[in-house]
């Protein structure tokens, strides 16, 4: 029998501490129970760093079809057509008040500067809306497929804004009370850029019979028509100067983009 060094209790089978060598009962056998002085000497034993193996995160690869990855390349043109469609139906419900706030009216533009952009989504009637959206559906989709959504938006809006600014200059010189509306300037910019990026494309124009033409010859004819009728814009009710400005900007931007990258 032996006495516990802490409480004096006698034990038949006492515990010997391997750190300090003392004798202890079952209650005080652990080093922390008898304030073992030897535990400091063997601190490394009690503080052995545990190496935990880090598991790499499981990567799940889901195959994505090419057609799904390319959905974004066709989206912005459809969105623009959708906005024009919504504005057209709103106009059917509320009438000319829509033109007052959205159409580009030179005498009002300084009070409502947003008209420089919103005029691109407003159209005079169903025929005007239908022709513009029909042309944009084909030319816009082709351009966006080639240059991507970001570049497509740049061409569309910069051409449209350039056309509207050109109309403002022309209207203040002639008649600042006639509003302009429609996406024609932006569409001319889209066609001009496409003619630079894909000059091999053929299009069909109706004059009045369908005639297949190379896209560059087609925009040349459109430009010639607008130049001839530019002095008669008030009589025709068409902003020919906007078409020409949008076309020039689109051609320039398409040429710059083509120099930076080879488009197909």
Q: Are 100 and 181 in contact (CB under 8 A)?
A: no
Kindly tell me if the per-residue pLDDT of 104 is higher than 90: yes
Delimit the domains of the chain by residue range. Answer: 1-38, 73-260
Q: How far apart are the C-alpha atoms of 228 and 53, rounded to whole Å?
A: 79
Residue 9: pLDDT band by 50, 70, 90 thresholds? confident
Residue 103 main-chain phi, psi, to 5 deg: -70, 155
Kindly tell me if the per-residue pLDDT of 72 is higher than 70: no
Residue 262: pLDDT band by 50, 70, 90 thresholds? low
Run of H or E including 227: helix 215-229
Average pLDDT rounded to a whole number, residues 66-91: 79
The least confident of 21-30, 31-40, 41-50 is 41-50
Q: Are 184 and 175 in contact (CB under 8 A)?
A: no
Residue found by looking up tokens 């057509």 in the block? 81
The least confident of 60-64, 104-108, 151-155 is 60-64
Nearest to 165 by CA among 103, 80, 246, 84: 246
Residue found by looking up tokens 């009438």 in the block? 95
Rg (CA), the chain: 39
pLDDT in the model for residue 215 = 92
Q: How far apart are the C-alpha atoms of 134 and 140, rounded to whole Å?
A: 10
Residue 245: pLDDT band by 50, 70, 90 thresholds? very high
Q: How far apart are the C-alpha atoms of 105 and 180, rounded to whole Å?
A: 6
What does the CA dihedral 258, 203, 152, 131 come to, rounded to 10 degrees? 160
pLDDT in the model for residue 56 = 52
Average pLDDT rounded to a whole number, residues 123-140: 94
pLDDT in the model for residue 116 = 97
Give the residues across from 214 on adjacent strands.
Answer: 202
pLDDT digits over 201-239, tens only? 888 887 667 888 899 999 999 999 999 999 988 888 899
- Classify 8 in phi/psi space as left (phi over 0), alpha (psi -120 to 50) or beta: left
pLDDT in the model for residue 59 = 44
For domain 1-38, give the fold: Zf-an1 domain (4.10.1110)
Kindly tell me if the per-residue pLDDT of 158 is higher than 90: yes
What angle do helix axes 75-94 and 126-147 make, rounded to 10 degrees?
A: 160
Kindly tell me if the per-residue pLDDT of 65 is higher than 60: no
Tell which wins on pLDDT, 92 or 40. 92
Query: What percentage of the chain has pLDDT greater than the value 70?
Result: 83
CATH class of this structure's domain 73-260 = mainly alpha
Average pLDDT rounded to a whole number, residues 87-102: 94
Q: How far apart are the C-alpha atoms of 81 and 100, rounded to whole Å?
A: 21
**For residue 197, with 0-12 CB atoms within 10 Å meaning exposed, 13-18 middle and 19 or more buried, which class applies?**
buried
Please give the structure tokens belonging to residue 69. Answer: 């990855």
pLDDT in the model for residue 214 = 92
The least confident of 32-36, 58-62, 112-116, 140-144 is 58-62
Nearest to 225 by CA among 238, 234, 209: 238
């Amino acid at each position: 029998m032996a006495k516990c060094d802490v409480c004096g209790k006698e034990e038949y089978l006492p515990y010997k501490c391997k750190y300090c060598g003392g004798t202890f009962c079952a209650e005080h056998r652990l080093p922390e129970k008898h304030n073992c002085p030897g535990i400091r000497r063997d601190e490394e034993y009690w503080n052995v760093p545990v190496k935990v193996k880090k598991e790499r995160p499981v990567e799940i690869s889901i195959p994505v079809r090419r057609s799904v990855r390319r959905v974004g390349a066709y989206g912005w043109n459809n969105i623009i057509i959708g906005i024009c469609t919504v504005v057209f139906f709103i106009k059917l419900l509320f009438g000319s008040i829509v033109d007052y706030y959205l159409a580009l009216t030179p005498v009002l533009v300084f009070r409502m500067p947003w008209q420089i952009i919103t005029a691109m989504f407003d159209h005079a009637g169903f025929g005007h809306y239908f022709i513009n959206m029909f042309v944009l559906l084909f030319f816009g989709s082709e351009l966006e497929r080639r240059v991507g959504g970001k570049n497509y938006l740049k061409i569309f809006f910069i051409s449209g804004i350039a056309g509207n600014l050109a109309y403002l200059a022309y209207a203040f010189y002639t008649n600042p009370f006639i509003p302009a509306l429609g996406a024609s300037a932006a569409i001319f910019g889209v066609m001009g850029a496409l003619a630079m990026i894909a000059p091999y494309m053929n299009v069909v124009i109706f004059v009045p019979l369908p005639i297949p033409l190379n896209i560059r010859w087609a925009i040349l004819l459109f430009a010639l028509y607008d130049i001839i009728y530019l002095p008669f814009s008030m009589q025709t009710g068409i902003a020919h100067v906007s078409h020409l400005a949008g076309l020039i900007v689109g051609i320039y931007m398409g040429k710059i983009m083509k120099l930076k990258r080879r488009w197909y």
